[in-house]
Amino acid sequence: MRIINALIIAFSTYSRLPMPQVEWTDDNRKYAMCFFPLIGGVIGLALGLWFVLCEAWGLTPFLRGAVGAIIPLLITGGIHMDGFMDTTDALASWQPREKKLEILKDSRVGAFAVMGCAAYLMLMAAVLSEADAAMGWTVGLSFILSRAMSAWTVTVFPSAHPNGMLDQMTRTAQKRMVTISGIFYVAVCLIAWTLTKGWLVCLCAAAVALHTLYYRRMAMKNFGGVTGDLAGWYSQTMELLLVSVVVLGGKLL
């Protein structure tokens, strides 16, 4: 029952999918981050089905890309995009660390956040418009892998906010199981890409490694550690990077 409760907590926290109510205890939250990547699986499934429908109905690439970019927001409620926007504002401020952390907490949306969100959605829509129905399922793996890496980084990277929501989720997390489950999810994605895309998997693995190293350096330098908003920024940028590598790299290789 504890595992089921952890699954429910993960989906009720990081998605808008209807879930039954469970008690928010340390014991129930312990394995919640292990199931976080499964939300990416739901996004990937929805995206793959949308691509199939676009192919069957003869819809334009523009509509395929536009709706495809919105699907993750509909499923997650935009929780990660909110973090991406807050982080964009903080980084664009060029203020000292303490001020940047204050900007992350500010509920108001700045101009740089709006521009960053608009640019992100346009880029995601443009890249997805270049994909076809056959790419839908391989593109969908990006959303699983990004969450697997995000779950792992928030449990092993230093936290900038000892009392933040992210710290509350990770403080009781079974870090060993999060690492093991993360390795499993990453391995599944890389194997699937190897079977369908061949040598493209090397580009995907390199993109994940380099972006994760950059993320840690950026977080430590600018904020003194990771926060929930930074985790959202990492998830969003990792998704866009991987989708771009799979779609555009797949056309070149």
Q: With 70 as the cut, is the pLDDT of residue 217 above it?
A: yes
More confident residue, 231 or 160: 231
Higher pLDDT, 152 or 22: 152
Mean pLDDT for the chain overall? 87
Per-residue pLDDT, 169 = 53
Q: What is the largest CA-CA distance in the chain?
A: 53
Q: Which of 149-158, 160-169, 227-236 has the highest mean pLDDT?
A: 227-236
The mean per-residue pLDDT over the stretch 195-199 comes to 78
Mean pLDDT score, 31-42 = 90
170 Cβ contact list (under 8 Å, min separation 6): 33, 154, 155, 159
What does the pLDDT look like over 47-82, one tens digit per residue? 999 999 999 999 999 999 999 999 999 999 999 999
Name the pLDDT band for 120 (thresholds 50, 70, 90).
very high
pTM, 2 dp: 0.90
Rounded Cα distance between 8 and 53, Å, is 29
- pLDDT at site 163: 58
Name the more confident of 161 and 71: 71
Question: For position 69, what pLDDT does the model report?
Answer: 96
Q: Would the pLDDT of 207 be above 90?
A: yes
Is 44 a residue whose pLDDT tops 70? yes
